[in-house]
Amino acid sequence: MIRALGLAALVAAAPVAAPAQGLTLPTGARQLSERISPLEGYALPTGPFADGAVPARVYEGRVVRRTWRLGGGPTPLQIMAPLRDQIVADGYDILFQCDGRACGGFDFRFGTEVVPAPDMHVDLRDYRFLSATRGETEALSLLVSGGENAAHVQVIQVVPVEAAPLAVASAGAVSPPHGAGGDLLSALVDDGHVVLADLDFATGAARLGDGPFASLATLAGFLRDNPEARIAVVGHTDTVGGLADNIALSRRRAGAVRDRLIGTHEIAAGRIEAEGAGYLAPVASNRTPEGREANRRVEAVLLNRQ
């Protein structure tokens, strides 16, 4: 059963809303998206999928939807547990929490709100969910999905219209590369190169994940719209391992991206080169885990300007 909380109660309660203390995500978490609705409703799940629906309570107010991506490795519980502790320390009461199967698996995932791909990905075999409330007017949900190549975190928060949402930061975060998301094409044209930040490769392997990858669809659209344009796809690595091995790995990864553009997006092979630079062109220090993650990347380089 869905119950809406009135706007009048929200506004009345705003002056006594607890101050936001904030959340700190694991080292290296990169924010993918933030969407703020000044006044909207959000159906906060209150239990697992049952009787054909996900039970929910609707909260109205300022709705903030944010997502992050982390390198593969930590399990959803390892990511969730410290965030849950921070939420409780910030004055929230845990209303409901579950793992994928106990939540309802596929039915729960598609019965609750999830930010669309590529900004959020949910592995149906490996995710955890939590909903929490603070007082009568504030609500928060936390969705963490695992994966061999990357984990994703989604936080949806409702606060009174006058209140500020939780500050969320990453411990030792690396700023998203210029050109991520909607700026991809402008960076490619203006700067001559852009990081394809949403690609996934298994650790130490050259196989490109199944996708779909928004960056490749956007890049393919640019190439179709500009039939004279040519690009090079260039792979980069961190400094783990020898130079020859890293150059070979980075070239194979670039080749996998080239193959995907040719095979899936039907771009002519003669318009795309594939090269590997290994660890010779870092964008961050290789002395930190987040720096090494930033250096493991694939870039598109525009070879001729229109």
Average confidence (pLDDT) per 10 residues, the chain, 306 residues: 39 39 81 87 96 96 91 85 93 95 94 87 92 96 85 94 81 43 70 85 81 86 89 93 93 95 93 94 84 88 77
Q: Residue 252's pLDDT is what?
A: 94
pTM beyond cutoff 0.75: no
Please state the domain extents for the chain: 7-170, 181-302
Cα distance between residue 42 and residue 198, in whole Å? 27
What class is the 181-302 domain?
Answer: alpha beta
Give me the pLDDT at residue 148, please: 64
pLDDT value for 28: 76
pLDDT tens-digit readout, 177-194 = 433 444 678 778 877 888
pLDDT at 20: 45
pLDDT at 177: 40
Report CA-CA distances (Å) from 178 to 193, 197, 245, 278, 297.
10, 10, 28, 20, 13
